[in-house]
Amino acid sequence: MKPNNTALDMKGILVLIIICASWGLNQVAIKTAIQGISPILQAGIRSIGSTFLLLLWMNFRQIKIFTKDHTLFWGVLVGLLFSAEFILIYWGLEFTHASRAVIFINTAPFVVALGARLFIPGEALSKTQVSGLCLAFIGILVAFNESLNLPTKQMLIGDAMLTAAAVLWGATTVVIKATPLAFIAPSRTLLYQLAVSALILPPASFVFGESGITGITPIIAGSLFYQIFWIAFVTYIAWFWLISNYSVSRMASFTFLSPFFGVLAGAVLLNEKITLFLLFALVLVGAGIYLVNRR
């Protein structure tokens, strides 16, 4: 394992960009699938399917599932945080737009930066790096200027839920990095989260009185498959590998790219126009990423 202050190399940057592009498109996939599958149940189905795939993969790689490594408590904790996070994300997307959702979800780097400074040795941010995070966040506000104006009460509910989900996402990242979970296989860390959420989310759907599955079309099925296989299985394994090998604070700034990939997905799939605000924001985000990763 690399030390906590390891700077991102080209391999790490490439993996991060792919992950951010995937997560940007994920909001569109969730919003699409909600038309036929209620949000919390959709998250539960995703966790169940991804848990099954992960178990197959771990068996193929001969990775031990049960070991006496004193991580059970921390594993259940991150599983609970993960479950609450995705209840808020999936449910919140019923109240607000996907383009707005990615803004609030991506406030998580600030939680990571603060938590890393408090709990992880060697993760303190310099003034230059803090400036980079702020610059990237300003870029997001510029890009989504129109959607931030005069939100309805319903949108404010969704925005609040997505902001709370971002706090949980950041807290989960810090817990993984600051506890014995940082020293086990990333797949086992992911299994804790997926397995716990697979047990919690379907009953939660029933408790919240969701309608369940109301209709399945090829597009809805494809959106669900994308979430199960690519997002919750492939990209999550890659993400936990990254936070086990690189500086969390420097890496977190790259998550600001997700909203922009989400906008690009909206332009291609929903015929949304890319404005000059977005182009200007991309410059700000690029500058912010440079400052955060500057040695």
Tell me whether residue 260 is exposed, middle or buried, using C-beta atoms within 10 angstroms of its C-beta: 0 to 12, 13 to 18, 19 or more. buried
Is 264 a residue whose pLDDT tops 60?
yes
Please give the pLDDT value at position 236. 83
- Residue among 240, 142, 263, 137 nearest 193 (CA): 240
The answer to whether 32 touches 165, Cβ cutoff 8 Å, is: no
Taking only the tens place, the pLDDT of each residue in 179-217 is 899 888 888 988 999 999 999 999 999 998 888 888 899
Can you tell me the distance from the alpha carbon of 201 to that of 37, in angstroms, rounded to the nearest whole number?
13
Can you tell me the distance from the alpha carbon of 172 to that of 248, in angstroms, rounded to the nearest whole number?
12
- Phi, psi torsion values for 8, nearest 5 degrees: -70, 135
Q: What is the pLDDT averaged over residues 215-234?
A: 92
- At 217, list the tokens: 């079309």
Q: What is the pLDDT averaged over residues 121-138?
A: 77
The DSSP string of 204-240 is HHHHTT---B----HHHHHHHHIIIIIIIIIIHHHHH
Helical residues (DSSP H) of the chain, grouped into ranges? 10-33, 39-60, 72-92, 98-105, 108-119, 127-143, 153-178, 186-207, 218-225, 236-245, 248-252, 258-270, 276-293
Please give the pLDDT value at position 294. 63
Which range among 44-53, 97-106, 233-242 shows the weakest confidence by mean pLDDT? Answer: 97-106
Q: Which residue has the higher pLDDT, 284 or 83?
A: 83
Is 89 a residue whose pLDDT tops 50?
yes
Please give the pLDDT value at position 186. 84
Q: What is the pLDDT averaged over residues 152-174?
A: 85
Highest mean pLDDT among 93-107, 113-127, 245-259: 93-107
Q: What is the pLDDT averaged over residues 140-160?
A: 70
Residue 288: C-alpha distances to residues 21, 132, 180, 254, 280 (Å): 18, 4, 31, 9, 13
Percent of the chain with pLDDT over 70: 85
* CA 224 distance to own-chain centroid: 16
Can you tell me the distance from the alpha carbon of 129 to that of 123, in angstroms, rounded to the nearest whole number?
11
Can you tell me the distance from the alpha carbon of 157 to that of 159, in angstroms, rounded to the nearest whole number?
5
The answer to whether 213 touches 37, Cβ cutoff 8 Å, is: yes
Q: What is the pLDDT averaged over residues 162-187?
A: 89
- At 134, list the tokens: 């702020």
Is 56 a residue whose pLDDT tops 50?
yes
- Residue among 85, 95, 163, 129 nearest 251 (CA): 129
Q: Which residue has the higher pLDDT, 15 or 285?
A: 15
pLDDT band at residue 276 under the 50/70/90 scheme: confident
Q: Which residue has the higher pLDDT, 87 or 150?
A: 87
Q: What is the pLDDT averaged over residues 16-29?
A: 88
Please give the pLDDT value at position 2. 47
Percent of the chain with pLDDT over 90: 29
Is 1 a residue whose pLDDT tops 50?
no
- At 76, list the tokens: 């259940």
Q: 90-126 in b/e burial notation, b at 16+ Cβ within 10 A?
A: bbbbbbbbbbbbbbbbbbbbbbbbebbeeebeebebe
pLDDT band at residue 270 under the 50/70/90 scheme: low
